[in-house]
């Protein structure tokens, strides 16, 4: 009988530990995302894009936009940012009318930048760099990893294409299979994940570069000796389920 009670207690303890871990992860992700959305809410010209009155709370409006974008992407992960049947069009014409009608104008880069930034923060595939006035004619991301990101800028006209094409405009953000372990071992500039620990980092004069992009995680720059490490592992914990960080 005591063994049974011990097992039950162990299971409950494990569940509680998991719940605490998820709660902490949720708080970390929520804080990161809230900070980014707050920065977006005070951007110049934001009222020309996100619908509402002067009395409305801007942050709440931005959060509503981010939540809707996340929901739409779950239905179609390759949905374009702009154009017919795009994120922008659905934000304008949807029941909530989250974007202003002016966002349907050709070459409305302000709306494109807002959606591009939110996609980056909610997927963590890249770290978007917002232009000062949202009017730049190109998207920009942080240069987090030299292997996956071959470019840091791309034309805003890419917004008319499926989202995967926007990603590939910056490089191999979603990497292909590199091949067999044997072929990798033969390369002098490849750092094996299995061999990464404190000793190998110190003995190899390798420095850690903390990044906000999952795509750049464990990207190794053999020239500078920098190993990129994703700084928000809690993002993976909180997304280990059917709901997103915004929903949780």
Asked whether residue 88 is assigned to any structural domain, the reply reads yes
pLDDT band for position 225 (50/70/90)? confident
Alpha helix segments (H runs only) across the chain: 2-41, 58-75, 87-93, 109-123, 163-168, 181-185, 198-203, 234-238
Asked whether residue 30 is assigned to any structural domain, the reply reads yes
Domain total of the chain: 1
Domain extent at residue 15: 2-172
Find where tokens 């292997």 sit.
147
Helix (H, G, I), strand (E, B) or coil at 124: coil
- 232-238: long-range pairs with CB below 8 Å, 24+: 232/28, 232/29, 232/32, 232/124, 234/24, 234/25, 234/26, 234/28, 234/29, 235/25, 235/29, 235/32, 235/124, 237/21, 237/22, 237/25, 238/22, 238/25, 238/26, 238/29
Task: Dump pLDDT digits (tens) for 122-165.
Answer: 998 899 999 888 889 999 998 877 677 888 999 999 999 999 99
Asked whether residue 154 is assigned to any structural domain, the reply reads yes
Output the average pLDDT for the chain: 78
Asked whether residue 192 is assigned to any structural domain, the reply reads no
Asked whether residue 238 is assigned to any structural domain, the reply reads no
DSSP state of 21: H
More confident residue, 90 or 200: 90
Q: What is the pLDDT of residue 1?
A: 46
Asked whether residue 203 is assigned to any structural domain, the reply reads no
Asked whether residue 179 is assigned to any structural domain, the reply reads no
DSSP-derived secondary structure for 51-66: ---TTS-HHHHHHHHH
Burial class (CB in 10 A: 0-12, 13-18, 19+), 22: middle
Checking if the pLDDT of 21 tops 90, the result is: no
Asked whether residue 116 is assigned to any structural domain, the reply reads yes
């Amino acid at each position: 009988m005591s063994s049974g009670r011990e097992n039950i207690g162990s299971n409950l303890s494990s569940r509680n530990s998991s719940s605490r871990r998820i709660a902490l992860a949720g708080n970390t992700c929520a804080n990161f995302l809230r900070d980014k959305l707050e920065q977006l809410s005070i951007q110049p010209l934001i009222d020309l894009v996100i619908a509402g009155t002067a009395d409305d709370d801007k942050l709440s409006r931005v959060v509503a936009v981010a939540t809707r974008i996340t929901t739409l992407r779950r239905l179609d992960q390759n949905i374009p940012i702009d154009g017919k049947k795009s994120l922008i069009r659905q934000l304008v014409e949807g029941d909530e009318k989250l974007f202003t009608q002016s966002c349907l104008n050709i070459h409305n880069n302000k709306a494109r930048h807002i959606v591009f930034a939110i996609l980056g923060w909610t997927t963590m595939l890249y770290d978007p760099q917002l232009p000062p006035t949202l009017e730049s004619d190109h998207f920009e991301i942080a240069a987090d990893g030299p292997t996956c990101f071959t470019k840091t800028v791309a034309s805003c006209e890419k917004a008319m294409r499926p989202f995967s094409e926007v990603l590939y405009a910056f490089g191999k953000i979603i990497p292909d299979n590199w091949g067999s372990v044997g072929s990798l071992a033969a390369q002098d500039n490849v750092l094996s994940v299995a061999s990464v620990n404190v000793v190998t980092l110190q003995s190899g004069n390798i420095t850690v570069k903390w990044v906000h992009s999952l795509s750049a995680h464990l990207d190794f720059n053999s020239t500078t000796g920098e190993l990129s490490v994703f700084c928000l592992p809690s993002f993976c914990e909180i997304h280990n389920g059917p709901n997103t960080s915004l929903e949780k």
